[in-house]
Chain A
Amino acid sequence: MQWPLVATIALAVSAAGRAGDGDGHKAFVAPFLEAHCVRCHAGDKAKGDVDLAKLSADVGAGSAAWAEVLRQLRNGEMPPEKEPRPDAEATARVALWIEAGLTRAGKGTARPQPQYGNEVPHGPLFDPANAGLPASTPARYWRLSPFAYKQFMAKQHPAGNNLVSPFNLLPGNGFKDYALPLTVDEPVAALLWLNAEALVNARFKADPKTGKPGGQKYKEIVEAFDETLPLGDAKLAKIVTEEFRRVLGRAPTPDELARWAGQLTRNVAAAGERGVGVRMTLAALYLHPEAVYRKEVGEGPADAHGRRMLSPRELSHALAHALGDKGPDAGLAAASEAGRLSTREDAARELTRLFDDPKFEKPRVMRFFHEYFGYRDAVNVFKTDAPQGTHDASWSVADTDMLVADLLARDKNVLLELLTTREVYLTTEPFFNKNSKAHYVYNFPGPQPHTATAKGERRSLAVTPAGQRAGVLTQPSWLLAHSTNFDNHAIARGHWVRERLLGGTIPEIPLNVDAKLPDDKDKTLRQRMHVTRAEYCLKCHRKMDPLGLPFEMYSHFGRFRETETVLDPTAPPPAKNRKPATREVPVDAGGGIEGSGDPALDGPVKDAVEMMHKLAASPRVEQVFVRHAFRYWMGRNETPSDAGTLQAAHKAYKASGGSFRALVVSLVTSDSFLYRTGDPPPPPLPK
C-alpha cells in the first residue's frame, strides 16, 4: 500500500485540510473502528467503560480517549488476542491519523527521547511516494555534550582539563546526546558558573615572580585590572572583542559590544574593584548561550517551504561535531569565513576532507556503535564466580572495540559484517592458557597467529569455528552487557533485537507487574521463563523472548556451550559445606522471529547464529539501522517528513557496497541536517 502524503501535504497545511479530519474519519478511521472495536466498546455494556461510539470525529475534542486508542493500537494491545488481527498497514494509517490530529490540537504524543523513536511507523518512512516531502529539523540550540564541553574548556586554558563537566547525558541504554531533552537546570548552571570562575581565575593567575596577574597573552585585560590606568571606551571595546573571539570564535555585533562593555563598567562599579568586576564579567561569557549550546537556528534565507539553511558558521560547528568533540578545525573555520560553506556540495566536500584527515579526531563515529550496541555496559554487570581462565568484562569490551574499528576501516558491508562475522580479536593475555595457548573464551584449542601492533601487545584476528559466532551480538561484551549477575538475560536481549534491528516497540513494564523470574536452580532459564507465557505477560513477551532465547547457546559469560549446568533435583541433599549436585542438560537455543514487518524474516530459528544471518540479510533490518544512524546524527527522532533523507541514506549505503562512511555523508548532507524551521507546520493527514 502506498502512503500518498505528498499529495495531501498542500491540503493539510491549508484551511481546507482541517476539514480532512472528518474526511479521514469517514473514509478509513470509522470503518476501522467499526470492524475491530465497537462490537465490544460501544453502548451501555461497553467493555472497560470505553465507549468508542461516543468518540468525537474531532480528535482535539476527545484527545484523551483518542490518545488511549493510539497507545493501544501502537502497542498491539487491542484488539485482544482471540479476535481477528487488523491489517498492520491499516493500523499504522489510523495511528498516523490520530497522531496528526493530536499534534494539530497541541496534544501530540510524539515523545522526543530516543527510546521512542520507533513509534513512528516504519512503512511510510521508506515509501518512495514520501521521498519528496520537505525535510528539516526544528530550529534549535543543542547543548554541548560533556565531551565537547571538556574540549572547549581545555582549549581555553590548560586548567580546563581539570574541570568537571556539569553536563549529564540521557540515562538508560541507547543514544545519549539528543538536542531537545537535554537542558541546563539549576545545579548544572551553578556548576557552569563555578567552572567559568575557576577558568578565568586560572587565566589571570598572579605571576609568582612579579605578583601581577596574567601573562603577555592577556595584556589588554590585565591592564584593565590596574586601577591607576583609565578604562575608556576604546579599551573596553578591545577587551570585549578579544574575548568574544577567544570564547565564542567570532566578533561581537555592535549591539553586543555596547551591551557587554556597559555590563563590564557596571560590574566594576558594583564590585568597587577592577579585578573582581572584570573577571566576573569575563566568566559570564562562558555561560553565553553560544558557549553552552551549539546554535542551529538556520540563519540562511528561507526557501519555498519556509526552511532556512544553516549559516556557514552554524554549519562549520555542525559538521565538526558530527564527527568530533573539538569544534571546527582551521579548515572549517577558513571555509566558513571565506563563504565556502553555504551549499550541500560545500558540506560534502568538507565532510569528506574531515573523514580523510587522520589528524581530525572522530570519536563520535565509534560512540555511535557504543551507544547503538550498548556492549560497553558489560563492565556494569557484576559477576560473582569467574569461569575458567578468569573474567574481566573490560577485556571483552576492548576486543569488540577493535573488531568494530577494523570493520569500519574496511568499510565494506559494514552492517552485514557487524551482525554475522566469525572473526574475533583476541587481545587479552589472561584469556589464554599459559601452557597450551588455548583461548578460553572462544574455545580455540591452540595458539592463534598474531598480527603485530605498534604497542607490541598481543593482537590476533582469528576466525571462530563454524556455527559458533555471528557478529557483535554473539561477542562476550554484548552478551555480558545484556546479562544479569547470575544468568543470561534473554528478555533484555530480545528487547534489543526487537527495537534496534526490527524497529519494533515494546511498552514499558506495567507498574503492577512483579517482573521477577522464579529462582529454581534445577531449571534452565528457558524453563524459568515460562512465567512470561501467562496471557497477560505474553502480549509483550512474545515480542522479546523468542528473539532472546537463541542466545542461550552462550553462557552468561558469553562462552559458547552445548550443555548447561542446573541443580540435580533427584540427588540427595549435599553434606555440610559441600556444593549441591548438578547435572548437565543439552542447550535449547531455539527461537523465532514473528511480527517483524518483513514476511521473509518471520519463522523459527535454531540458534543465534542462524537468526543473525537471517536478520543481516533483511532490507528491513538495514533500514532500521539507517533510522538509528539518523537519530544519532540528527540528535532527534525521525518524523514522516524525513522519509527522503532516510531513503537516500539507505540508497547511498547500498550503492557503496555497504560503506558506513557513505551512509554518514548522506545523512549529514541531507535536508534534515542542513535545514531548519521554526514552529513546524501541522503534520500532514494521511488520506
Chain B
Amino acid sequence: MPATRRSLLKGLTLGAGAAVLGPLVRQLDAQAAGAPGRPTRYLFVMLPNGCPATEINPVGFPLVNHDRRKGLTVEPIGGRELHPSMAAVEKYKAKVTILQGVSGTCANCPGSDESAGGHSKAWSALGAFMAMNNTVPAATVDWALGRKLGGLFTNVCLGVSKDPATSIVYDMSAAGPGRKNPTLCHPAIAYKTLFGSVAGGQAAREFAVKTNLLDFMAADVRAIRGAVGAAEKDKLDAHLDAYEAMRGRQAKFEAHKDALRKHLPALTDKFTSKVETDRLSAQFDLAAASLAGGLTHSAVISCAGGRAFDSFVFTGLGIDRGLHGIGHSSKYDEYLRDMQTIRTYIFEQIAGVMKKLEAIPEGDGTMLDNTLIVFTSDFGEAHHAQTKEWPFVLIGDLGGRLKAGNVIVYPPWGQPGHKALNHLYTTMMYTVGEKPRTFGTPDVKLKDLDMTGPLGELLA
C-alpha cells in the first residue's frame, strides 16, 4: 500500500503546524550534515533508443565486438579525438571516461519490457534491479545518491514529452519499494515547482501567503481524519506528508533564497516552445541551475526516454520521424545517422551545463570539479537491447575521487572479471561515502561471478 503511516507525526500535538514540521527540517539538516566533506553533484543524462558501443568510442581506438573481447583493458584516451558526436565535450577530454562492457542484464524485466517492446528499461536502468510488472523494488541510484547528499530536493528528475500538455510521468527514478518519482516533463511547470518561490516580482509576497496556506490546507485534511478508519487515516496521512514536505521545503527555500536567486535561470520562450528540442534545452538550463543553486545534488534528465518514447520526434534537429521509427530503420546506418545527430545535440547541451558550472568558483576550483556527468541510454546498447553490454560516458572525476581519462573495457558477459551496472552504481555510492556490498539486484545468471564491490579501475 503506498500510503504509509507517518512516523514523524507520532507523539506530536496535532494542529501545531510549525511544531509538526520541525522534525522534517531537522532531518534535512541532519542529512546535509552527514554528507561527505566536499560538495558532490551528479547529473544523469538518459537518452532513449540505445547507445551502441561504437558510438562513444574515441576515434581510432581499437574496440572489438563485446563477445570477442579478451580480459580487462584500461587505456588512456590520450591524444585520440572523442567520437564526433561528442565533439562538444572534447575540451574536457582529460576528465572523460569511456566505460565499455559493463552489462545490464540485471535490469531486463520479464513482464515489464514485453508490453513496452523491450525498449526502455525504465527504473531498472538506474536501479540495476528488475522492476517486475512495473513494480519498483528499491530506490534508483540517483535517489540513493541524492538522499546521501541532501539538498532541498533529494533529486530533480526532468524530462520532455511529445505532448507539451503531459506535465509529469513516472518512469525513470524511484525512491524505494513501490515509490516512483515524478519526471517533470513541462519546463514551465518544472520552473515554477523548482524556482517559483524566488522567481518573479511577487515572489516574496506569494511566498509568505503560501506558507500560511500550507498550514491552513493541512488543517483541512487533518480535520477529516476523525471520520474514517485506520487504513483510510494512513491514506490521509500520506496527503498530510505531502503538505509537510512542501512546508519544510518552504522553510528551506527561505534559508537558501540568495543562492537560488543567484542561479535562477532566465525564463525564455524555450520553456513553452512547441519545438521539442527547445523544451529539452530548457530542462538542461533548469538542471544546471538546480545543481548550481544547491536545490539538489542529484539531477536526472530523461531525454524523451522511459516508456512513452515511441513517437517523440526531435523536430528541432531536422528529424521527421519518431524515435521508434528511427530504432526500426530499414538500414542500420540510418539509425546511427539520426541517433548521432541527436547525440551531438545532447552533448552540446551537456557542454552547456558544464560551462555554467565551470564559471562558479568552489573551494580551490569550480563547481564542475565536484560534478560527475553520467551519459547513457536507458535502453542499453541498442534499440532492442540484449544489455550484455551497456556503454557509459562519465565526465568528471569528483575532485580526484575517480580516475578519469581512460577507455575501460571489461571482459565479456559471464567471463571472469566481467562487471555489471551493480558494480558501477556501487562505485558511485562509494564516492559519497557509502559502501554497500552491491547496488540493486545482480543478474542470477551471473551468480558464479563476484557481483559485489566497486569498479577498482574507476575508483581512485
Contact = CB atoms under 8 A, between A and B. Distances in A.
Q: Do A and B come from one complex?
A: yes
Interface of A: 111-113, 138-141, 162, 164, 166, 168, 171-172, 180-181, 183-191, 193-194, 263, 266-267, 270-273, 276-277, 280-281, 283-284, 287-289, 295, 297, 377, 380-382, 384, 484-485, 489, 508-509, 511-512, 514-516, 677-680
A509 B444 CA distance: 14
A190 B246 contact: yes
Contacts of A280: 206, 209-210, 213
Nearest to B185: A164
A289 B209 CA distance: 20
Interface stretch (B88-96, B108-116, B368-376): B108-116
Nearest to B193: A190
Given A168-B170, A189-B243, A382-B324, A289 B229 contact: no
A284 B135 CA distance: 33
Nearest to A483: B114
Contacts of A515: 110-111
Interface stretch (B45-53, B232-240, B263-271): B232-240
Contacts of B38: none
Contact of B232 (A139, A271, A287, A377): A139
A430 B3 CA distance: 48
Nearest to A168: B170
A511 B181 CA distance: 23
Contact of B220 (A288, A382, A514): A288
B242 A189 contact: yes
B239 A187 contact: no
A189 B239 contact: yes
Interface stretch (B140-148, B161-169, B251-259, B412-420): B161-169
A380 B229 contact: no
B460 interface: no
A112 B232 contact: no
Contact of A187 (B111, B168, B221, B228): B168
A138 B232 contact: yes
What are the nearest 7 A-B pairs in CB distance? A382-B117, A515-B110, A679-B229, A189-B242, A187-B182, A186-B242, A297-B227
A681 B375 CA distance: 55
A397 to B, nearest CB: 15
Contacts of B1: 111-113, 180-181
A567 B189 CA distance: 53
Contacts of A377: 115
Nearest to B109: A515
Contacts of A185: 2, 238-239, 241-242
Contact of B217 (A141, A272, A287, A484): A287
Nearest to A383: B117
A267 B165 contact: no
28 contacts: A113-B1, A162-B165, A164-B186, A166-B167, A168-B170, A171-B135, A181-B1, A183-B3, A184-B238, A185-B238, A186-B246, A188-B242, A191-B168, A191-B193, A276-B205, A277-B209, A281-B213, A284-B216, A288-B217, A295-B224, A297-B227, A382-B117, A382-B119, A382-B324, A384-B328, A485-B117, A509-B110, A514-B444
Contacts of A180: 1, 3, 231-232, 235
Contacts of B213: 263, 267, 280-281, 283-284
B444 A512 contact: yes
Given A267-B213, A382-B117, 17 more contacts: A139-B228, A139-B232, A180-B231, A181-B3, A183-B235, A187-B184, A189-B246, A191-B167, A194-B189, A271-B205, A271-B206, A271-B209, A280-B206, A382-B324, A485-B118, A509-B111, A509-B132
Given A380-B115, A384-B328, A484-B114, A140 B228 contact: yes
A289 B224 contact: yes
Nearest to A273: B205
A381 B117 contact: yes
B18 interface: no
A168 B169 CA distance: 9
A164 B165 CA distance: 6
A678 B208 CA distance: 38
B238 A183 contact: yes
B192 interface: yes
A289 B231 contact: no
A267 B207 CA distance: 11
B8 interface: no
Contacts of A113: 1
A508 B112 CA distance: 13
A438 B246 CA distance: 61
Contacts of B135: 171
Contact of A141 (B212, B224, B241, B246): B224
Contacts of A287: 217, 220
Contact of A194 (B114, B193, B216, B231): B193
B172 to A, nearest CB: 13
A186 B206 contact: no
Interface residues of B, number: 63
B245 interface: yes
A116 to B, nearest CB: 11
B273 interface: no
Contacts of B331: none
B272 to A, nearest CB: 12
A266 B192 contact: no
Contacts, number: 163
Interface string B108-138: 0011001111110000000000101111010
A516 B110 contact: yes
B12 interface: no
B7 interface: no
Nearest to A487: B114
B168 A181 contact: no
B10 interface: no
A112 B231 CA distance: 10
Nearest to A262: B216
Contacts of A271: 205-206, 208-209
Contacts of B13: none
Contacts of B205: 270-273, 276
A614 B192 CA distance: 58
Contacts of B133: 172, 508-509
Contacts of B186: 164
Interface string B190-217: 0011000000001001101110110011
A184 B242 CA distance: 7
B16 interface: no
Contacts of B236: 141, 183
Contact of A183 (B137, B202, B239): B239
B446 to A, nearest CB: 11
Contacts of B245: 186
Contacts of B221: 289
Contacts of A168: 170
A166 B189 CA distance: 12
Contacts of B206: 271, 276, 280
Contacts of A194: 189, 192-193
Contacts of B166: 164
A384 B181 CA distance: 32
Contact of A184 (B111, B239, B445): B239
Nearest to B447: A512
B441 interface: yes
Contacts of A270: 205, 208-209, 212
A138 B231 CA distance: 9
A171 B192 CA distance: 28
A184 B182 CA distance: 13
Nearest to A110: B231
Interface string B308-321: 00100000000000
A587 to B, nearest CB: 22
A272 B118 CA distance: 56
A141 B232 contact: yes
Contacts of A514: 110, 444-445
Contacts of B208: 270-271
Contacts of B118: 485
Interface in B286-327: 310, 324
